[in-house]
Structure 1
Amino acid sequence: MKTVTVYTSANCSSCAKLKRFLSVQDISFREVSLEDDLELKQVLINKTGRMGLPQTNIDGEWVVGFHIPELMTLLNRRNTNEQQSSHYRK
């Protein structure tokens, strides 16, 4: 099983969509809120070179934003229902 960690903030709509998507896909993940942790925010920027959220680490590989094809590739899964995935992009 892959180790999935999602870095989020409270007012991030893409973060909410990502968490909902992972839950519906029955993918276990650990959520780390960046709300009050400026030091951790800087660590992520240094690692990924990006400031956007969500940031997802899947076994050491990073996805910045809510990008279903990238997520599914790193999770070694095939998204067979394109309509379902488009629901999470809204």
Structure 2
Amino acid sequence: MDGIKYAVFTEKSIRLLGNNQYTSNVESGSTRTEIKHWVELFFGVKVIAMNSHRLDRRMGPVRGHRRHSNYKRMIVTLQPGYSIPPLIEKRT
């Protein structure tokens, strides 16, 4: 599980939970097959689709990509009937 950094909780990612899609940030060097294997092995679920993209960096009116960004975002779609338990830490 070294490749998966953390789960993402944004408005879009919460909306995607209704479609059985889970969003997380992963290391930039990780491949789709590695992430799929890690998710299936660690959570005991079946992955049917994966989408990934590098995040844009915005500085004022100019948008661009980091040349050596640390992570990319992965959206994993699970088969119906499978789910991943919430990954929320309790903060005090």
- The structure whose Rg is larger is 2
TM-score range normalised by the length of the shorter chain: under 0.3
TM-score w.r.t. length of structure 1: 0.28
Structure number having the greater helix percentage? 1
Structure number having the greater strand percentage? 2
